[in-house]
Amino acid sequence: MKKIVLITGATSGIGEATAMLLAENNFNLIITGRRQDRLNILKEKIENETSAEVYLLHFDIRNPDQTEHAIKSLPNKWQKIDILINNAGLAVGLSGVNNGVLDDWERMIDTNIKGLLYITRLVSDKMVEKGEGHIVNISSIAGKETYPMGNVYCATKHAVQSLTQGMRLDFLKHGIKVSSVCPGAVNTEFSLVRFKGNEGQAEKVYEGFTPLDAHDVAETILFVVSRPRHVNIDDVLVMPTDQAFSRDFNRKK
């Protein structure tokens, strides 16, 4: 029987690429995000191109009631979630703390930390009952290093690293695997979101070097979730060859 994987933030970037790759590799999928039109298109594409079954849930992960309602609305056959991929997340703005924009801080903290916790609480409770499951948190190089003006985003990803370790400890006796995947720069909608739709600023981030693409990270996630039951990949750092440190790029121009 195919395992069921729930991927948060599957409407673009790493989440979308992971949904596609896992569908091609014998997993059934619950895909989530706020943009329902994109979820519909992805569901149709996966169902046309693979043998995977797809269920979609659209909700804002910052809202605990919406998140709980969505998870509780799952039909019986979709309730046994084997793998949770906590991917939904974002950076908003770049500024010193003295110039910080409160709304930007709240969006990052509410999505990357609180949203991750809301959904993990609901899904992991069922995993504990079953005595098995796997939680994969998409963290970042920003969870291992802090870069200038990235203070709050980096803090949220450091929190994801800490929560990964905390979950690993707490779920040890329940047979639940917990992993963290930490990418360096990936060319997705991430920078467009960070710069609030400014395409010029977003494109500059990836100029002069070859970043990862979403499929590179999806391949890492596929490896992490397809290890045998007795193997847990605790933490993976996957970087572009052209990036050695969070802000140390081998730019050609």
**Which among ligand 8X3, ligand NDP, none contacts residue 138 (Cβ within 5 to 8 A by kind)?**
ligand NDP
Residue list 190-229, contact with ligand 8X3 (CB under 6 A): none
> Which H/E stretch holds residue 166?
helix 151-171
- Annotated catalytic residue, options 118, 147, 153, 206: 153
Listed ranges 22-30, 82-90, 118-126, 170-178: which one lies at the site for ligand NDP (CB under 6 A): 82-90
What DSSP line would sit under 184-202, residue for residue? --B-SSHHHHHTTT-HHHH
- Contact assessment for residue 4 and residue 74, using Cβ atoms and an 8 Å cutoff: no
β-partners of residue 249 are 243
- The DSSP output letter for 2 is P
- The DSSP output letter for 227 is S
**What 3-state class would DSSP assign to 20?**
helix
Per CB under 6 A, does 141 bind ligand 8X3?
yes
Instruction: Annotate each residue in 117-136 with x if it binds ligand 8X3 (CB under 6 A) or - if it does not, as one string.
Output: --------------------
> What is the four-CA torsion angle of 149, 238, 161, 166, rounded to 10 degrees?
180
- The DSSP output letter for 115 is I
Per CB under 6 A, does 62 bind ligand NDP?
yes
Whether 153 is a known active-site residue: answer yes
Residue least distant from ligand 8X3 (Cβ): 140
Enumerate binding residues for ligand NDP (CB under 6 A): 9-15, 33-35, 60-62, 87-90, 111, 138, 140, 183, 185-186, 188-190, 193, 214
Enumerate binding residues for ligand 8X3 (CB under 6 A): 91, 140-142, 150, 153, 185, 246
